[in-house]
């Protein structure tokens, strides 16, 4: 009889082409023949509003059973913004006290009006607010051998992981961001029976903040393989241009570094006569920057994405915060060089360890990297080889799935 496992995540669907949600879908689909797999999630397609766009109840996504729960309320962005503003008014010594486990003393001496209830309100505003999902876990926990929670930052994980911690596996997708210092996250990182990290740098951050080295853990990441489009598209026809292009894939969002990318790219265009374009794949979550050299394709299907990635001169990843960056690894697997933000420790590790790309920390280093990949004499054969070797050695599906099997076996031994 197959073991029954559930993945709990804030969003789930074919329309989501990046981040922890895509990560979750890849793992669930790989394990569905080996386990009785379910996904417990919201009815939303976007975290901007958490609007209930999917029907509540059970459906199937690529033959994976998905149980959806409607959010009791949409995201109130104004209330969240005000609460963020209040909670960010913490003193610089908060991190030190948090590290020492003295955050309760900090709350008493800070004198800025922040109380425990404010963190609870923040979590509710952050969403997706799914009390019906929590009720389901509470009533049905005995039906599952393992509960796998992805992304520490959202309501379903924070509240759900406390219901049955003894059979819970956390996949935190964490980095050193300001919210991780909230007191309510201490239980999230110290309660589960097992934790599966994406990278060693993520594990180092979490262990440093929560002193939770005693919890069973592994660096699981995700498996990456070269993709082959089932339908071959003509790139020039898709883009209505034959120019070289830099590609960005994912949420087009200020918080993903896209404003910085736009600024650097437009500065580059002012200084050069190169007919290079910036191609964006993904949903827009910020004000559109209109320029004839910036091409917005929106959300595209997988075959189009693969085709456009394979033909790109370089993939740009401007994000300051990543826990893995699947698209960086996919780009390496496809033999496309990567230019990544040096400030992000995860991206820095990927580029330095793979030697398959370039790092930038200011406009000049960005410009140098772009000039290098656009130079007609640039020989990217070495970068292709080192990138593919890095993927094969560190992100094979065999190794990744075995880490999940081991963790599931560990938490299901009651």
**Poorest-pLDDT segment among 112-116, 213-217, 331-335:** 112-116
Share of the chain above pLDDT 70, in %: 93
Give 246-297 pLDDT, tens digit per residue: 999 998 999 899 999 999 999 999 999 889 999 999 989 899 999 999 999 9
Report the candidate in 218, 171, 170, 217 with the shortest Cα–Cα distance to residue 191.
170
* Residue that is written with structure tokens 């009533």 in the block: 139
Query: What domains are there in the chain, each with its CATH number?
Result: 4-75+127-223+396-412 (3.40.50.2000), 77-119 (no CATH), 235-394 (3.40.50.2000)
Helix 77-87 and helix 116-126, axial crossing angle in degrees, nearest 10: 140
* Phi-psi category of residue 286: left, alpha or beta, with phi > 0 → left and psi -120 to 50 → alpha: beta
> What's the rounded Cα separation, in Å, for the pair 388 and 391?
5
Specify the pairing of strand 36-42 against strand 57-61: unpaired
- Whole-model pTM above 0.85? no
- Which residues share a beta bridge with 218? 196
Question: What are the residues whose beta carbons fall under 8 Å from the beta carbon of 241, sequence distance 6 or more?
Answer: 277, 295
> What's the rounded Cα separation, in Å, for the pair 342 and 356?
14
> What's the rounded Cα separation, in Å, for the pair 161 and 143?
16
Specify the pairing of strand 57-61 against strand 146-150: unpaired
- Which residues share a beta bridge with 65? 38, 60
Mean pLDDT over 375-403 rounds to 91
Does the structure show a pLDDT above 90 at 149?
A: yes
Residue 151 carries which DSSP code?
-
Tokens, residue 31? 């394990």
Does the structure show a pLDDT above 70 at 17?
A: no
Q: Could you tell me the pLDDT band of residue 134, with boundaries at 50, 70 and 90?
A: very high
Give 78-108 pLDDT, tens digit per residue: 999 999 988 886 544 555 555 566 655 555 5
Mean pLDDT over 188-209 rounds to 94
Q: Which residue has the higher pLDDT, 114 or 283?
A: 283
Q: Count Cβ neighbours within 10 Å for each residue of 244-275 and write b for 16 or more, e otherwise.
A: ebbbbbbbbbeebbbbbbbebbeebbeeeeee
Q: What is the DSSP string of 36-65?
A: EEEEEEES-S-TTT----SPSEEEEETTEE
């Amino acid at each position: 009889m197959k073991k029954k496992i559930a993945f709990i995540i804030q969003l789930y669907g074919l329309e989501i082409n990046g981040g922890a949600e895509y990560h979750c879908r890849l793992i669930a689909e790989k394990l569905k023949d080996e386990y009785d797999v379910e996904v417990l999630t919201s009815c939303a397609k976007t975290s901007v509003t958490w609007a209930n766009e999917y029907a509540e109840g059970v459906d199937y996504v690529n033959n994976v059973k998905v149980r959806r729960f409607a959010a009791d309320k949409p995201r109130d962005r104004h209330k969240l913004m005000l609460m963020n503003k209040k909670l960010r008014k913490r003193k610089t010594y908060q991190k030190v006290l948090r590290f020492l486990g003295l955050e309760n003393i900090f709350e008493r001496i800070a004198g800025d009006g922040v109380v425990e209830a404010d963190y609870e309100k923040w979590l509710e505003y952050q969403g997706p607010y799914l009390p019906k999902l929590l009720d389901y876990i509470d009533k049905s926990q005995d039906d599952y051998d393992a509960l796998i929670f992805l992304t520490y930052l959202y309501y379903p994980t924070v509240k759900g992981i406390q219901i049955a911690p003894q059979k819970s596996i956390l996949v935190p997708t964490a980095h050193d961001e300001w919210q991780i210092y909230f007191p309510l996250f201490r239980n999230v990182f110290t309660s589960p029976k097992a934790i599966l990290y994406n990278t060693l740098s993520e594990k180092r951050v979490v262990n440093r903040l929560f002193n939770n080295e005693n919890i069973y853990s592994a660096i699981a990441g995700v498996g990456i393989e070269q993709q082959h489009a089932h339908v071959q598209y003509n790139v020039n026809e898709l883009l209505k241009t034959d120019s070289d292009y830099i590609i960005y894939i994912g949420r087009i969002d200020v918080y993903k570094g896209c404003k910085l990318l736009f600024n650097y790219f437009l500065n580059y265009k002012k200084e050069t006569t190169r007919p290079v374009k910036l191609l964006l794949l993904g949903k827009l979550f910020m004000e559109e920057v209109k320029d004839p050299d910036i091409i917005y394709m929106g959300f595209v299907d997988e075959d189009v994405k693969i085709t456009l990635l394979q033909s790109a001169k370089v993939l740009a990843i401007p994000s300051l915060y990543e826990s893995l960056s699947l698209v960086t690894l996919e780009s390496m697997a496809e033999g496309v060089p990567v230019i990544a933000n040096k400030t992000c420790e995860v991206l820095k590790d990927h580029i330095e360890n793979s030697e398959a790309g370039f790092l930038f920390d200011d406009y000049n280093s960005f410009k140098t990297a772009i000039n290098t990949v656009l130079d007609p004499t640039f020989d990217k054969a070495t970068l292709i080889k080192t990138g593919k070797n890095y993927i094969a050695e560190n992100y094979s599906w065999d190794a990744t799935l075995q880490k999940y099997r081991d963790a599931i076996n560990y938490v299901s031994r009651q």
